[in-house]
A and B are shown apart, each in its own frame.
Chain A
Amino acid sequence: MLRGAGLVGVFGLLSACQLVEFSPNQAYVPAQERGLNGQALARLQTAPNPDDTVRFVFVGDTQRFYDETEEFVASVNQQRSIDFVLIGGDISDFGLTREFRWVHQRLRLLDAPYLTVIGNHDLVGNGRAVYREVYGPLNYTFRYQGTHFICLDTNGREYGFNQQVPDVQWLQQQLADTAGTRQTIVVGHVPPTDEDFDPLVVPRYTAALRDCAGLVFHLGAHIHRFTVGQPYHDGVTYLTTYSLQKKRYHILTVWGQRKFRLETVTYGVEG
């Protein structure tokens, strides 16, 4: 019995330091590294925030930018009153287990909890299973200070444009669930204006957003640069953020009724 426990202990230690890996595609990670979105949300809900203002960092595409991720963490930790950090997908480059772990080893040093939405690179190979193990459900929502955040998988190309992704029916259900919601923010890695978004889903997706009276904006990443506008001329603002490699990130502050402020932070740029 004791011997068995010892073996489990040794195994746990070895897998914690990553040396023991059965496949670079395995979803299995040590228990403390599972369900990280859920862990972050639990932490977020215990953090008291006296007013209705939500202030969060938004950046995309940490994929294989480990050095830059360390600089990013150092910069974000200097910001005051950040409620949480939102990573807009492409956490990994190859969808490999160890990439997710390397990113988490750096982002867990953020003072604020961090949340992620799945990107197309995270779905490569067995990445879908890895993401689900490490971060949790691919579509999820949370409410913070009366703002409803809806995070979903918009990487249609990874599913061969099967018209199922993003799941518009699920999105509509979440948008309709307005109890305790003053305003709503929708987050997906691939924006509907991009060729990697399922073209046959674009009309239903954008219509669902248009019909949501309390929508502040739609957040995306994927294209590695900042864009903001109303491409469908329907009053819905679509915003995309920088990739982490650009050494820039956004701080979004939302309050009141669909009021928001966008700040851009540049860090670690030499010269």
Chain B
Amino acid sequence: MGWRGKSWLLGLLLELLVVGAHAQPARAQTATQAAGPFFLTLHLAGGTGVVALGGGYRLAQQRLEPELLLGYVPRRISGSKPLAIITLKATYLPWTPELGRSSWQASPVTLGAMVNYTTGQQFFLTNNSAGNYRPGYYWWSSAVRLGLLAGTRLSYAGPCRQPTAAYAELSTNDLHLVSALTNHSLRLVDILTLGGGFKQGF
């Protein structure tokens, strides 16, 4: 896929995010109505650590899930000291139909965005804060990454049970995206990262 295809997808993703943030339909509150607004997350891979733990708060009729995750990358994977990755992430669920009359719900498409910070002396917040370079020497932050996500989820909530959701998502980050947008030979799949996990409401 060339850059035209990728920028089209990016545009769609951004548009859905913006439109979604403004839409506030009153439906889809039936099964999740009993659900508490808080949830805990166990997240695996996806560029935010081997494993990340955290939680968040459901907003906008359970359609928007901002959350904070603390991820861990052990020495064996980092090749240096273990890394901690602090991620602020928001997931939007545009459509969550119930599956028949069961306690199961599916969100065929979820969309999201994230920003994360990686700890470690080797990372700089900005080129200037590193102290070694003239302004503009490196234009990006090696510590902070911005990301976009698209995924899918399945959740279960019994009558006396808080919802449990399992999800999987594909993401990309700003620097991988810049690489793809400036090179025809990088395909969309080259810049995607798979992640997933569980969310437990309480």
Contacts and interface: CB of A to CB of B under 8 A. Distances in A.
Given A28-B79, A126-B78, A129-B80, A23 B85 contact: yes
A143 interface: no
Contact of B142 (A19, A94, A160): A94
Interface in B140-179: 140, 142-143, 145, 170, 173, 175-176, 178-179
A126 B193 contact: no
Contact of A19 (B73, B131, B179, B193): B193
Contacts of B186: 66, 102
B153 to A, nearest CB: 18
Contact of B192 (A19, A26, A126, A130): A19
Q: Which residue among A24, A99, A126 has the maximum number of chain B CB atoms within 10 Å of its CB? A: A24
A270 to B, nearest CB: 15
Chain A, interface size: which category?
35 or more
Interface string A62-91: 001111001000000000000000000000
A104 to B, nearest CB: 13
A64 B131 CA distance: 25
Given A19-B193, A19-B194, A158 B132 contact: yes
A21 B173 CA distance: 12
Contact of A95 (B49, B73, B142, B190): B142
B179 A93 contact: yes
B7 interface: no
B83 interface: yes
A63 to B, nearest CB: 10
Interface stretch (B19-27, B53-61, B116-124): B116-124
A96 interface: yes
Interface in A20-55: 20-28
Contacts of A102: 179, 186, 190
Contacts of B77: 22-23, 26-28
A189 interface: no
A14 interface: yes
A266 interface: no
Contacts of A224: none
Contacts of B83: 23, 25, 126
A210 interface: no
Contacts of B185: 66-67, 70, 106
Contact of B173 (A24, A130, A158): A24
B29 interface: no
A109 to B, nearest CB: 12
B76 A24 contact: no
A185 to B, nearest CB: 29
Contacts of B47: 21-24
A128 interface: yes
A66 B179 contact: yes
A167 B110 CA distance: 51
B45 interface: yes
B74 to A, nearest CB: 9
Q: Which residue among A17, A102, A106, A157 has the maximum number of chain B CB atoms within 10 Å of its CB? A: A102
Interface in B86-104: none
Contacts of B183: 64-67
Interface of A: 14, 17-28, 64-67, 70, 93-96, 98-99, 102, 106, 124-126, 128-130, 132-133, 157-158, 160-161
Given A23-B73, A96-B175, A129-B79, 11 more contacts: A19-B193, A23-B85, A24-B145, A28-B76, A28-B79, A65-B183, A66-B185, A98-B190, A125-B123, A126-B83, A160-B132
Interface of B: 45-50, 71, 73, 76-80, 83, 85, 118, 120, 122-123, 131-133, 138, 140, 142-143, 145, 170, 173, 175-176, 178-179, 182-186, 189-194
21 contacts: A20-B194, A21-B46, A21-B47, A22-B49, A22-B77, A23-B48, A23-B77, A23-B83, A24-B145, A24-B173, A28-B79, A64-B182, A94-B140, A96-B176, A125-B118, A125-B122, A126-B78, A126-B80, A126-B83, A126-B120, A132-B79
